[in-house]
Amino acid sequence: MRILDRLSGLFLSAVLMVGAARAAEIPDRLPPGIQPKPHVRLISLGGTISGTAKDRLNVTDYGAPRLGPDDWIKDLPDLALYARVTPEDLRPAGESTAMTTEHWLKVARRLQEIAADDSIDGVVITHGTNIMVETGYFLSLTVNIKKPVVMVGSQRPWTALSGDGPLNLVNAVRVAATPAAAGKGVLHAMNQNIFPIRDVTKTSAYRMQTFQGIDLGVIGVADPDIVKFYSETLRLHTYKSRFNIAALPAALPPVEVIYGYHEIPGYIVDAMVANGVKGIVVDGTGAGSTPNTMEAAIKKAQAAGVVIVATARTRGGRVQETPKRTAAQVVPGDNLPPEKARILLQLALTQTTDVAAIGRMFTEF
């Protein structure tokens, strides 16, 4: 009997100790001086990072079932080391390539709501890499937000051998949870590099290091030990921008892009004008030169009120203001690639058609 009593006592003591340990692991409230982890909202806009395939070596032909933010949070318990991550699915209907300006406006309005939500400290947005920087640049120009906003994606599907999605997503959450990322506008975080969304471009179809800054480099890194910033952009964005989503019309002015090449015909410009464009970005040769075979058509377009912006197909260097360009009333696109110049011109045209005023915007944003 004494042995049974002793064993019962030991068992009861063990139960009490386990209960006490569990209570210590999950306290009712945080001890004094311990801060709660940042709250990061994980928004999915789809993309390769959501793709799956039956074969782990399949890195180019993948698709359904598509994963959502709940799946990523479940697959990556590591996220809880850095933040309290909550999911939100804003994918357009169908595949991620179905992204439209209408959906951009929807996402921008939602992001503006998050800007006013004091319970959320930062935002991560997953996106397909094809037009990720376009979506991000639009958001950076239209949402008044100081909280960190980080765009992320992957070059390989979630199921791929050595896929880049999981680590990219963990690092994006780390960046969004870092107070130093606040006020820097929409950021791009992949392959451990951090860029301002304005200055980063996809440069390779499938390689991991695809996102690069042509003229301007990384402003920070997400290394294993720390997220560290070294600089920030001086261009206007987010809370400094004048194109707030609340003031935008339901549809943006139509703007098209023309790729300049030897003996390009002017009827391409004529066709655009006939279809009601309000602006044209000419991705010019050399330092942004407009091919002479389309100059007459451009003058006719300008006479009809169409604004012309010049970018350079070299992808490096600024398109500069020159006496000839000034006389021709063509707006220099600075160092923006044509797809981003198109977005800025669309937004500029919601406020003015004055060429000088639009030119100033291209030096500021």
Predicted pLDDT of residue 14: 44
Are 256 and 283 a contacting pair, CB within 8 Å? no
Q: What is the pTM of this model?
A: 0.89
Residue that finishes a domain, picked among 217, 240, 263: 240
Instruction: Give a yes or no: residue 49 inside a domain.
Output: yes
Residues 75 and 153 occupy one common structural domain: yes
Place of tokens 């980080």: 150
Give the CATH number for residue 306. 3.40.50.40
Active site (annotated) includes residue 48: yes
Neighbour tally for 105: CB within 10 Å: 18
The answer for residues whose C-beta is within 8 angstroms of residue 147's C-beta and 6 or more apart is: 114, 115, 120, 121, 122, 123, 182
Are 340 and 361 a contacting pair, CB within 8 Å? no
Are 142 and 167 a contacting pair, CB within 8 Å? no
Q: Is the pLDDT of residue 26 over 60?
A: no
Q: Which SS3 state, helix, strand or coil, does residue 8 take?
A: helix
Catalytic residue among 48, 129, 238, 311: 48
Rounded Cα gap, residues 329 and 282, in angstroms: 13
More confident residue, 327 or 4: 327
Residue that finishes a domain, picked among 213, 240, 267: 240
Q: Quick one: pLDDT band at residue 5, thresholds 50, 70, 90?
A: very low
Instruction: Give a yes or no: residue 34 inside a domain.
Output: no
Residues 187 and 221 occupy one common structural domain: yes
pLDDT > 90 fraction of the chain, expressed in percent and rounded: 85
The model's pLDDT over 204-251, given as tens digits with 9 standing for 90+, comes to 998 989 999 999 999 999 999 999 999 999 999 999 999 999 999 999
Instruction: Give a yes or no: residue 245 inside a domain.
Output: no
Rounded Cα gap, residues 315 and 336, in angstroms: 8
Instruction: Give a yes or no: residue 166 inside a domain.
Output: yes
Residue that finishes a domain, picked among 240, 274, 291: 240
Domain count, the chain: 2
Rounded Cα gap, residues 160 and 51, in angstroms: 9
Residues 217 and 156 occupy one common structural domain: yes
Give the CATH number for residue 168. 3.40.50.1170
The model's pLDDT over 79-131, given as tens digits with 9 standing for 90+, comes to 999 999 999 999 987 654 578 999 999 999 999 999 999 999 999 999 999 99
Residues 231 and 279 occupy one common structural domain: no
Predicted pLDDT of residue 159: 93
The model's pLDDT over 126-172, given as tens digits with 9 standing for 90+, comes to 999 999 999 999 999 999 999 999 999 999 999 999 999 999 999 99
Burial 75-96 (b: 16+ CB within 10 A, else e): ebeebeebbbbeebebbbeebb
Instruction: Give a yes or no: residue 9 inside a domain.
Output: no
- State mean pLDDT over 315-323: 94
Domain interval for residue 318: 254-364
Q: Is the pLDDT of residue 34 over 80?
A: no
- State mean pLDDT over 251-269: 97
Instruction: Give a yes or no: residue 25 inside a domain.
Output: no
Round the average pLDDT of the chain to a whole number and report it. 91
